[in-house]
Chain A
Amino acid sequence: MLGEGIIQGLVETARNFFGSYVEKDRLTTVQYPEERNELPEASRNFPFLLFDGPDPEAGLRCVACQICEKECPPRCIHIEKSKDKKPDFVGKPQAYPAVFNIDVSVCMSCQICVEVCPFDAIRMDKVYELSTDDRFRGLLYTKKELAKSNEYYQQIHPVEAAETDERRVKEAEEARAKAAAAEAAAKAKAAAAAAAPPAADASTNGAAAPAKPAETKVTPQ
């Protein structure tokens, strides 16, 4: 009959109207500043730099290899390499970024920088309240703003962080074992060379040997 559908519709909206006062489940709205939905584990938006230990400057994992800068499709990363070196987590002296800027207004959140980084130094963040009244300087993040601790990373991406940490511990152990083995080999060679005449040649080879295990790490996982 004509008008039947209208009655049905009116009943439905009336049910919504009164139901929304009774059943809280009906209301899908999240009262944003007071309550927030938890973000999914894999959510991401902008990159940040990881550091180990208490000091963001000393513990920064980044070695300024500039791979991410080259790979970044919208070119939002700017790195200036340092002149001096500092030891990394295996103890090998590495360069560090004197300047590391990311323009988050340009970043497209593709995560390619994370995928290419051989040092697990750059990861994606979950923050989303980044509004600022300065559209240029306010959205250009410097090394100081980007550096975040490993604990923070474990907090926002627990599964991913556990995996990374496990791998890094293993790699560090392997590197240490290899270095020890190389040292032992060099010592044995040096001992052998001390007996034989061409001693100068063998000692230079032995000094270059510990650098090798670090180089194999460069291949991306």
Chain B
Amino acid sequence: MTTAATADQIFVLAKHWLVAHTPAPLQTVVSIVIPIAAIIVVFAALFALTVLFERKGLGRMQNRYGPNRVGPFGILQPIADAVKSLTKEDIVPTRADSVVHYLAPLVLVGVVFLSYAVLPVGRNMIAVDLDSGVLYFFAVGAATELAVFMAGWSSHNKYSLLGAMRAIAQMISYEIPLILSSVTVIMVSGTLSTVQIIEQQARYSAGIAHWNVFKPWGLAGFILFMIAATAETNRSPFDLPEGESEIIAGYFIEYSGFKFALFFLAEYLEMFAVSGLGITLFLGGWSSPVSFLAWIPSWLWFFGKLLAMIFGFIWVRGTLPRLRMDQLMNFAWKFMLPMTLVVIFSAGIWRFLSPGVVGPTPLGGVIRWLVCALIIFAPYILLARKLERGRRIEKRTYRFAE
């Protein structure tokens, strides 16, 4: 085995070594527990790191320093946050449904962790290689809505109930474009298994990978997927369920201390999971974009892409203000849904215009690309024009200012 291949498979080899050194009756249990423990530890650590990066990054986007007091450059801030949330009093409202109130954060975190089972974080690095991995991911992801409503309902607070209702409305509305935009990948690749979807993208022609994002439907699908994912994970600008300035904190208003931290954790884990799925479906998972960089370990590629996606989320959060509820719904049903259907159509055409039809020459490839791009771009222009009609934004004049 070459050095590059060893580096690539180092965690897999380590797991095999550990399993081989346990007593025979425990081997099955240990081989199940190791990936679970690894997922929990790695992504919880990534959560701590992301919170710090987010606060620093948002600060820089607003021309501030961000946290810089705890440790050098504030890098120990996550530890301070953890200590703070652990030492805070855990308050349960008198009239709350205490059992459901207690269970809601646990259910949320548990459900979110379940979706990591089908995410390949590297070559041969997946907890469960399900044939219906993508389907499983969305099924488990939909269960978060239950936990959110448990939290909102059991708190016996009108703000938390409003927040939970907003969250449910938003999550259900955006689940449709989220799933429809990933249907394109499923259609073209013809499989629901996350491992196989990546393997199909990890092939190279002329040194460039067959990532779905390099295809017109893949690019449009990826953008739509990420918009829907932002809404699905209640991230800004779709953070209406929290809406600090309107409904204080939404469904977790009555949570304090570590339960609040669990909600926070679940929100970020959801963001990582859905980013991971976006990477798997559109950005070639653990594969490198060009063949000469394929020696870099696959897990480094995956986490590099994940960090880039997280930066994208932070960037969007630092840029856009929060939407209004009607704008949110209009955007979901009037723009996202028609566009995802158009992208599905384009993906179908792409499949139909296979090299057997347009010819295997580069010209055929270009024609195929342009036709599919046009099928997406023309409806986009028309739809945008229709949505913007009668909505001229004029320069606002202030009569009493100045």
Contact = CB atoms under 8 A, between A and B. Distances in A.
B65 A27 contact: yes
Given A1-B384, A27-B65, A20 B60 contact: yes
Interface string B53-96: 00001001111110000000000000000000000000000000
Given A9-B320, A13-B61, A2 B315 contact: no
A10 interface: yes
B63 A27 contact: yes
Contacts of B262: none
A29 B64 CA distance: 6
A14 B63 contact: no
Given A26-B63, A27-B64, A17 B316 contact: no
A14 B315 CA distance: 8
Contacts of B387: 2
Interface in A8-22: 9-10, 12-14, 16-17, 19-21
B402 interface: no
A17 B383 CA distance: 33
Interface residue tally on A, bucketed by range = 10 to 19
B319 interface: yes
B319 A17 contact: no
Interface string A1-45: 111001001101110110111000011110100000000000000
Contacts of A28: 63-64
Which of B63, B383, B388 gathers most chain A CB within 10 Å? B63
Contact of A17 (B61, B65, B388): B61
A9 B319 contact: yes
A26 B387 CA distance: 37
A9 B61 CA distance: 11
B35 interface: no
Interface residue tally on B, bucketed by range = 10 to 19
A2 B384 contact: yes
A10 B315 CA distance: 7
A111 B117 CA distance: 69
A3 to B, nearest CB: 8
Contacts of A12: 319
B382 to A, nearest CB: 11
A218 to B, nearest CB: 47
Contacts of A2: 335, 380, 383-384, 387-388
Contact of B61 (A3, A16, A27, A31): A16
A6 B319 contact: yes
Which of A6, A19, A20 gathers most chain B CB within 10 Å? A20
Contacts of B243: none
A155 B396 CA distance: 48
Nearest to B380: A2
Contact of B60 (A3, A6, A16): A16
A185 B62 CA distance: 76
Interface in A95-145: none
A129 B63 CA distance: 26
A13 B316 CA distance: 9
A101 to B, nearest CB: 37
Contacts of B60: 16-17, 20-21
Interface in A29-66: 29, 31
Contacts of B380: 2
A99 to B, nearest CB: 42
A2 to B, nearest CB: 3
B277 to A, nearest CB: 23
B316 A10 contact: yes
B318 interface: yes
B63 A20 contact: yes
A13 B320 CA distance: 10
B26 interface: no
Nearest to B63: A26
Nearest to A18: B60
A16 B315 contact: no
B381 interface: yes
A28 to B, nearest CB: 6
A20 B320 CA distance: 19
A13 B318 contact: yes
A29 B65 contact: yes
Contact of B381 (A1, A16, A27): A1
Closest 3 CB pairs of A and B: A2-B384, A13-B61, A13-B319
Given A17-B57, A21-B60, A27-B65, 18 more contacts: A1-B381, A2-B335, A2-B380, A2-B383, A2-B388, A6-B320, A9-B320, A10-B319, A13-B61, A13-B315, A13-B318, A16-B62, A17-B60, A17-B318, A26-B63, A27-B64, A28-B63, A28-B64
Interface of A: 1-3, 6, 9-10, 12-14, 16-17, 19-21, 26-29, 31
15 contacts: A1-B384, A2-B383, A2-B387, A3-B384, A6-B319, A6-B320, A13-B315, A13-B319, A16-B62, A17-B315, A17-B318, A19-B63, A20-B60, A27-B64, A29-B63
